[in-house]
Amino acid sequence: MTVNITMAIVLAGLYTVGLYLLMQRSLMRVILGIVIVGHGANLFLQVAGGPPGQPVFVGSAVLETMVDPLPQALALTAIVITFALTTFLLALAYRSWALLGHDEVRDDVEDRRIRLAEREREDGEESESETTTSFEAPEAGEEVPR
């Protein structure tokens, strides 16, 4: 199979941009990252089918010049799935924005707990009064300082 260099570069670009966005703090950028990697993956399925050729209809072209139809079917399915899930993700992001008033991805409970314990320990070392390694999980919904 010959390699289509333009497609290779486009794919590399889509994956790079998408994965970079995935690692951002803002929820909107994360979703855009998912969308762009999704496009990259669907395009990749297409490219995996080999170079372009004639449409696949019986008797319309010689068999050897026809394009491989299977990756197109696969890509179509994958596009539908990524499309549906993107919609769901957007709805969830909207709900998150409506509830929290910002679209930043919050740290998980564990991270917040460790940071709190760390901060308490530092305070304890400064005042040298009480022992401060109590691992109390923050209550649900409680705002913990970053």
Partner 1 sequence: MTVLVALPVLLPLLAAALSLVAGRAPRVQRALGVLVLTAIAVIAGVLLKEADNHGPVVLQLGGYAAPFGITLVADRLAALLLLVSALVTLAVLIFSIGQRITDYGRHTASTAFHPMYLVLCAGVSLAYLTGDLFNLFVAFEIMLSSSYVLITRRTTADRVRASMTYVIVSLASSLLFITMIALVYAATGTVNLAALPEKIAALSPGVQTSLGLLMVVVFGIKAALVPLHFWLPDSYPTAPAPITAVFAGLLTKVGVYALIRTQTLVFVHDVGWTVLLVIALLTMLIGVLGAIAQNDLNRMLSFLLVSHIGYMLFGLALFTVLGLAGVILYVVHHITVQAALFLVSGLITRHTGTVSLQGMSGVAKAYPVIAVLFALPALSLAGIPPFSGFVAKIALLQAGAQVGTAAAYAVTAAAVLTSLLTLFAVTKIWVGAFWGKVSEPHQDPDPDDEVTVGTGSTSTGMLVSTGGLVAVSVLIAVFAGPLSAMSERAAADLLDGSAYRAAVLGAEGSG
Q: Footprint of partner 1 on this chain (CB under 8 A)?
A: 1, 22, 27, 30, 34, 37-38, 40-42, 44-45, 47-49, 68, 70-71, 74, 77-78, 81-82, 84-85, 88-89, 92-93, 95-96, 99-100, 105-106, 108-110, 135, 137, 140-141
103 or 129: CB nearest partner 1? 103
86 contacts 34 by C-beta, under 8 angstroms: yes
61 or 96: CB nearest partner 1? 96
Cα separation, 8 vs 3, whole angstroms: 8
54 or 81: CB nearest partner 1? 81
- Residue 65's contacts (CB-CB under 8 Å, 6 or more residues apart) are 53, 54
67 or 93: CB nearest partner 1? 93
State in angstroms the smallest separation of the CB of 115 from partner 1: 15
